[in-house]
């Protein structure tokens, strides 16, 4: 990068900036932007949970029938399960060495994260719409 005259990279390759993974820094950057968003949502969600400590079932239902708690909770769930799934992928990539075992662990975790997100978001929406 610093000494481009000694580099084997072509000028076109440098200009595209996609590197050997062919995807550039998009995933790397997206994960960090998502993490920063999750940090904000975490504060909002913890505040919401603190306000519900010791609440009756009725109070919880009434809370999740208001727009703000529903939107914060579903956003928090979405960012959390996405962050968790990709975080676990990094852990599996580092510690599981069999190709098939690695693929299976990553696929199962991502599938499970998606199911858990849909389950919990559906639960919140079910309360919100009073079904």
Partner 1 sequence: MTDTPAAKRQRPLSPHLQVYRLPLPALTSITHRITGIGLTVGTLLLVWWLVAAAVGPEAYATASGFIASPIGLILMFGWTAALWFHFFNGIRHLVWDGVKGLTLPQAYSSSNLVIGAAIGATVVTWVLAFAL
Using CB under 8 A, which of the segments 9-17, 99-107, 122-130 binds partner 1? Answer: 122-130
Q: Which is nearer to partner 1, 13 or 90 (CB)?
A: 90
Burial 55-89 (b: 16+ CB within 10 A, else e): eeeeeeeebbeeeebbeebbbbbbbbbbbbbbebb
For helices 26-51 and 67-95, the axis angle rounded to 10 degrees is 130
Which residues, numbered 52-111, are part of the site for partner 1 (CB under 8 A)? Answer: 53-54, 57-58, 60-61, 64, 73, 77, 80-81, 84, 87-88, 91
Binding mask 4-43 for partner 1 (x = CB under 8 A): ----------------------------x--xx--x--x-
C-beta atoms surrounding 54 within 10 Å: 5
Give yes or no for residue 123 binding partner 1 (CB under 8 A).
Answer: yes
DSSP state string for 79-116: HHHHHHHHHHHHHHHHH--SHHHHHHHHHHHHHHHHHH
Displacement of CA 64 from its chain's centroid (Å): 22
Q: Which is nearer to partner 1, 13 or 27 (CB)?
A: 27
Binding site for partner 1 (CB under 8 A): 32, 35-36, 39, 42, 46, 50-51, 53-54, 57-58, 60-61, 64, 73, 77, 80-81, 84, 87-88, 91, 116, 119-120, 122-124, 126-127
């Amino acid at each position: 990068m610093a000494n481009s005259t000694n580099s084997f990279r072509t000028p076109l390759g440098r200009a595209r900036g996609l590197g050997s993974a062919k995807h550039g820094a998009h995933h790397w950057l997206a994960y960090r932007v998502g993490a920063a968003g999750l940090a904000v949502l975490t504060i909002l969600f913890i505040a919401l949970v603190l306000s519900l400590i010791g609440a009756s079932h009725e109070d919880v239902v009434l809370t999740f029938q208001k727009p703000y708690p529903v939107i914060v909770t579903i956003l928090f769930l979405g960012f959390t399960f996405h962050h968790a799934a990709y975080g676990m992928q990094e852990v599996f990539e580092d510690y599981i060495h069999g190709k098939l075992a690695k693929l299976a662990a990553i696929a199962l975790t991502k599938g499970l994260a998606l199911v858990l997100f849909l389950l919990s978001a559906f639960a919140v929406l079910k309360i919100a719409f009073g079904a």
